[in-house]
Amino acid sequence: MGRFIYGNGNAKVEIEDRTLAHLQQVVGAKLRRSESFFFTWKDDPSVGGGRRAVWIHPGADLEFKFHGGREPQLSREWLTALTTVASSPTGLYVVPEPAPRAASLHSGGVELYGERIGG
């Protein structure tokens, strides 16, 4: 399990490495375009449960801490789904990975916000 850490470290959540890698790509693409948005997740009951939302903006202090050392394979369909919700009024949250329809990013990449990612 990796970890997404926001700001001074008071807002953090454990996220599976592959999911975290997808979130990093979507967040990075939006911030490169100077787009701000909310990122929402459910807190674990061990830290009080509930739901947390943070405002992601170009000046935000973000850290993506991965448990493993290998870069996971990215899914074009999942990046598209996450990008769609990130651009909605509700902001970014983890949606289930759609079934694959085409080759992965490692076999050619995908364009996300006009930028080539992977491949």
Note whether 97 and 53 are within 8 A (CB): no
AA identity, residue 93: Y
Note whether 61 and 101 are within 8 A (CB): no
Euclidean distance between the first and final Cα of the chain, in Å? 25
From CA 83, how far away is CA 102, in angstroms rounded? Answer: 18
Helices (H), 1-119: 17-32, 76-86
Sketch the domain layout of the chain as residue ranges. 2-117
Instruction: Give tens-digit pLDDT for 82-103.
Output: 999 999 999 999 999 998 775 5
**Residue 105 predicted with pLDDT over 90:** no
Distance of CA 87 to the CA centre of its chain: 13
pTM of the model: 0.81
Instruction: Give tens-digit pLDDT for 19-55.
Output: 999 999 999 999 999 999 999 999 888 888 899 999 9
